[in-house]
Amino acid sequence: MLQPKSIAIIGASPDINKLNGRPLHFLRRDGYAGKLFPVNPKYSDIDGLTCYPDVASLPEVPDMAIIAVSQKLATNAVKALGEKGTPVAIIFSSGYSEIGDEGAAYERELLDAAKEHGIHICGPNNLGLINAFENVTATFSQYADQPPIAGPVAFASQSGAFGTGISALARSRGIGLGYFVNTGNQADITLVDVLMEIADDERISVLSAYIEGLRDGRELIQLAHKAMTVEKPLIITKVGRKAAGARAAASHTGSLAGQDIVFDGVLKQHGVIRARNEEHMLDLVSAFSCCPIPNGNGVAFITQSGGAGVLMADRAEELGLDVPTPSAQTQAKLKEVIPSFGSSANPIDVTGQFLADPKILSESIKISLQDPNIDSCIVWLQLMHGHADLLVDIFTDVKNSVNKPFIVCWIEAPEQALQKLRSAGICIIGATERSVDAIAGLAQYGEARKLCASQTSAPEHVEILDTTVPGVAVPTMTAANMLESMGIPLAPTLLAETPEEARTTAEQLGYPVAVKIESPDILHKTEAGGVRLGLTNADDVETVTQEILAAAKAYNPSASISGVVIQRMAKPATELVLGLRRDPIFGPVIMVGLGGIFVEILEDVAFAAAPVTPPQAEAMLSRLQGAAILDGARGKPHVNRKALVEMICNLSNFALAHTEIAELDLNPIFADNKGVVAVDWMMIEDAKN
């Protein structure tokens, strides 16, 4: 599909103003070297090419077909192409799942026909693809009104119109797209399939995508692993972050937007860089296609404006970047070239004096990037129209002299300078905070690459289960045995069926103890009056057990009650929560967060898809807003992070070993410098099991 040697165009037209006339026009205009077979019974030839009445009349089997006919005719076209032996077809036709249930039925019919006749389809509701290297302009997109310019960036989009807009914006910024592919409704071939194939193309160094939803997030994880393996950054703009956007995305593509916090966590886990919007994505694409990857988070700001320097430094710290003070040796060298009324600190103010002496700017950049604590830099300028050629020479010299990334933030740069800098492979961004965001993306990828270096094999495929069926609570002691067998530490807990048995069980465990109702029909025990804490003698345990059993029967008269669980109370410590659930897109995902207000009000949690490696678990903890609490705060001891990481990884292994478990909450977990222990848990089994 991406590099066809011959293309049939079903429904071809000589009218280049019509959707079905544009692909043939573009392919011939751009010099596509393969064979072209227009198919339309209305014409005997189109622009000097033989036009065939039907697919059966074609003189040979085309590598690819473009289906540019109405929805009513598309299925028969797919059948005919399959019978001819064509391996793949792009389907422009619309009126399928994007319009609702009736259209979805037509789409299933289309896909069934494709499978039956052995042909893959890209679409429907698709505007095609461009391979600018081989001049495969197989599209009706307005982006192709100008001949595409090949470059090291591949861009795939689920949205045709928005994808066209992003591609046009890329061209206006001098970003060459080697590939632009729209996958439409993805009845068969998906955006992930396309990028998996493109990732092997040595001419491509950056992969990018616009995504509205996914059916199988595990395929995206496989793509992320491949992209990391071939050292090509994967940049994704994913919409549907909030409820309204998720609904709109689902109705547009028929895919699930999913819970955004899960999606975001999985992207971070696997080294995918997420862009907020199209501008941010193209800033990142520009940076990755021009700059080497930094070895760390230290960034220097070189500017002629103190105010711009402060703004950039603020943004850098918001994004977790370091703004280190240059070493004494570096500052001494800077002072030799910067005027006395400038600044050798960070931000570094070179003043406007460099216009009289260009070495002030060029040497300041080079000296700064020699500092071992500085991994990248941003050079900030404004206007300078009368000095554009001088600045281009300075930045070109720096580009050829350093091996660390630097970005030029040039406010209102003249167009001629922009073109020259882009031609020289220099990343230039025209807004202050956006330039910092781009550097942060480079640093994030650099850290992710180190994190993923230890993972040599691709993550295993995991079946995505239907999570819409209500589950069944697993008895506390059964759940405890399952968890402990996987190395998850729990507070000592035993079941007592009667008040008298509760008395002896408490004596056996040792005080103080907690008493909790045990019933698969009462999940929220506190609401039912089914939890009492801090009991210190046998008489109280027996009395409280009687009260809890009575309260539970009053709360839910039909509940099946097994008795109570007696648990030796753990010493209070830093509270965390740990959980597992079956995500409809990514399958088993692990959640960790700080307890109390952090999880209830601030929703301070991090997600990752199982399996979770120890470095990934450590990264999850570092992403928490309250991560500093784990290192000790307000007189509390630091948390044994090694034990907590081990617990996260063991829960991840549990998730893969017990596919019948739909949900699990370990809440709270007490953690101190000695270790971690879960003191309450709720496990839900998939009802279908």
Distance CA 616, CA 60 (A): 52
Distance CA 204, CA 235 (A): 13
Side chain identity at residue 540, one-letter code: D
97 and 254 Cβ atoms separated by less than 8 Å: yes
The whole-number average pLDDT for the span 642-671 is: 96
Q: Is the pLDDT of residue 257 over 50?
A: no
Which of 237-246, 381-390, 444-453 has the weakest average pLDDT?
A: 237-246
| DSSP label of 99 | G
Sign of CA dihedral 201, 206, 212, 216: positive
Could you give the 3-state DSSP secondary structure of residue 3? coil
112 and 86 Cβ atoms separated by less than 8 Å: no
- Res 245: pLDDT: 54
Q: Is the pLDDT of residue 640 over 60?
A: yes
3-state SS, one letter per residue, for 183-214: CCCCCCCCHHHHHHHHCCCCCCCEEEEEECCE
Mean pLDDT value across the chain: 93
Distance CA 305, CA 19 (A): 51
Q: Is the pLDDT of residue 41 over 70?
A: yes
Backbone angles phi, psi at 618, to 5 degrees: -60, -40
Q: Where does the pLDDT of residue 466 fall: very low under 50, low under 70, confident under 90, or very high at 90 and above?
A: low
- Residue 541 burial (CB count, 10 A): 27
**306-318 and 432-452 are packed helices; what angle lies between their axes, rounded to 10 degrees?**
40
181 and 156 Cβ atoms separated by less than 8 Å: yes
Q: Where does the pLDDT of residue 248 fall: very low under 50, low under 70, confident under 90, or very high at 90 and above?
A: low
- Res 602: pLDDT: 75
Could you give the 3-state DSSP secondary structure of residue 590? strand
Q: Is the pLDDT of residue 611 over 90?
A: yes
Kindly report, residue by residue over 384-402, the tens digit of the pLDDT. Answer: 888 889 999 999 999 999 9
Tokens of 42: 């209305």
Backbone angles phi, psi at 606, to 5 degrees: -130, 145
Is the overall model pTM greater than 0.95, yes or no? no
Side chain identity at residue 619, one-letter code: A
Omega before residue 41 within 30° of 0, cis: no
Q: Rounded to the nearest 5 degrees, what angle is found at the Cα of 463, between the Cα atoms of 462 and 464?
A: 115
Q: Is the pLDDT of residue 229 over 80?
A: yes
Kindly report, residue by residue over 134-193, the tens digit of the pLDDT. Answer: 999 999 999 999 999 999 999 999 999 999 999 999 999 999 999 999 999 999 999 999
Q: Where does the pLDDT of residue 469 fall: very low under 50, low under 70, confident under 90, or very high at 90 and above?
A: low
What is the percentage of the chain residues whose pLDDT exceeds 90?
85
Q: Which of 352, 346, 383 is CA-nearest to residue 368? A: 346
Domains detected in the chain:
1-126 (3.40.50.720), 149-290 (3.40.50.261), 306-452 (3.40.50.261), 492-568 (3.30.1490.20), 574-685 (3.30.470.20)
- Res 457: pLDDT: 57
681 and 590 Cβ atoms separated by less than 8 Å: no
* β-pair partners for 181: 129, 156
237 and 278 Cβ atoms separated by less than 8 Å: yes
The whole-number average pLDDT for the span 629-639 is: 83
The whole-number average pLDDT for the span 666-672 is: 94
Tokens of 206: 């950056």
- Res 599: pLDDT: 77
Kindly report, residue by residue over 108-137, the tens digit of the pLDDT. Answer: 999 999 999 999 999 999 999 999 999 999
Q: Which residue has the higher pLDDT, 501 or 250?
A: 501
The whole-number average pLDDT for the span 10-33 is: 97
Distance CA 267, CA 262 (A): 9
Q: Which residue has the higher pLDDT, 465 or 549?
A: 549
- Res 246: pLDDT: 56
- The contacts of residue 67 (CB under 8 Å, 6+ apart) are 10, 11, 74, 77, 78, 81, 89, 90, 91, 92, 93, 123
- Find how far residue 416's CA is from the centre of its chain: 36
CB burial string 296-317: b at 16+ within 10 A, e below: bbbbbbbbbbeebbebbbebbe
Q: Where does the pLDDT of residue 663 fall: very low under 50, low under 70, confident under 90, or very high at 90 and above?
A: very high
Q: Rounded to the nearest 5 degrees, what angle is found at the Cα of 259, between the Cα atoms of 255 and 265?
A: 110
- Residue 284 burial (CB count, 10 A): 28
Distance CA 261, CA 266 (A): 9
Q: Where does the pLDDT of residue 251 fall: very low under 50, low under 70, confident under 90, or very high at 90 and above?
A: very low
Kindly report, residue by residue over 473-498, the tens digit of the pLDDT. Answer: 999 999 999 999 999 999 999 999 99
Q: Which residue has the higher pLDDT, 352 or 425?
A: 425
- Res 100: pLDDT: 93
574 and 639 Cβ atoms separated by less than 8 Å: yes
185 and 106 Cβ atoms separated by less than 8 Å: no
Could you give the 3-state DSSP secondary structure of residue 298? strand
- Residue 617 burial (CB count, 10 A): 25
Q: Rounded to the nearest 5 degrees, what angle is found at the Cα of 318, between the Cα atoms of 276 and 298?
A: 105
- Res 256: pLDDT: 46
What is the percentage of the chain residues whose pLDDT exceeds 70?
95
